[in-house]
Amino acid sequence: MKKLEISPLQGFVDTHIHTAPDTQPRLLNDLEAAVDAKNQKMKAVVIKSHSESTVGRAKQASTISDFTVFGGICLNHNVGGLNPVAVSNAAKMEGKMVWLPTTSYPEINIHDEQLEEIIKIVHANNMVLATGHLNVDDIFKVLDMARSWGVWKILINHPLTGVVDASVDEQIEMGKHAFLEHCFVACMERHDNLNPQKIAHAIREVGSKRCVMATDFGQKHNPKPTTGMKIFINSMLENGISMKEIHTMCSINPGKLLFD
């Protein structure tokens, strides 16, 4: 009788990968990333683009690969910034993620009244609101507004990277109202070159029940996302994070955001 192989990523979700086509060079296209994750027995991946909606692309990749791929829309200038119509259309196509501005953040007024309309659409369609590259002050303002509308599916993207730079105390406060997504790309030399010990320390302080582990991989100069996730897991184990905590951050918490 053939022995069933168990993948170290079995049942896990990567909430943050970048795929081709894109304006930046990417290692894998949507379908290749889906098939690779499926071969590793993962449960799902989320594909993200700073330039366009990935909702339709995700649906196609899901259908062809017979694997769950989620997409969303990142509210940069390319889609009209804080554009409720674009978010509404993404929702109608069963998009799951709404990322607040990233590359266009310095030029977009995050306090625009359209932000409240977007949060209402997120709430009505059971979507996930992600904070993109917002700074700490704006993140807390978004959290306040989202809480007033009953939105709890909130993901604070890579809080330790230079573009966000949240202190551990700030992360603890954010964790009361949102999940904090720690991305391994921050530890790469050509990115923030962050010491993984800092991620492990933040996880211990905030608690694994309020954190998510993701890669943010897909760049041509980095390993493929599934390889990156395995390295990330090993790095956290080496820094005192238990396998039970990793399962919480890579499976249970993403499941609450994407499947509940």
Q: What is the pLDDT of residues 202-241, one digit of tens each?
A: 999 999 999 999 999 999 999 999 999 999 999 999 999 9
pLDDT over 60 (residue 3): no
The whole-chain average pLDDT of the chain stands at 96
Q: Give the residue with greater pLDDT, 10 vs 3.
A: 10
- DSSP string spanning 231-248? HHHHHHHHTT--HHHHHI
pLDDT at 5: 59
Tens of pLDDT, residue by residue over 92-145, are 999 999 999 999 999 999 988 999 999 999 999 999 999 999 999 999 999 999
What the block records as the tokens of 218 is 């897909």
Alpha-carbon separation of residue 204 from 60, 194, 209, 212 (angstroms): 38, 17, 10, 12
| Backbone phi, psi, residue 16, to 5° | -160, 90
How many whole angstroms separate alpha carbon 208 and alpha carbon 28? 30
pLDDT category, 50, cuts 50, 70, 90? very high
Name all domains of the chain by residue range, CATH numbers in brackets.
Answer: 13-258 (3.20.20.140)
- Global pTM reads 0.96
pLDDT category, 7, cuts 50, 70, 90? confident
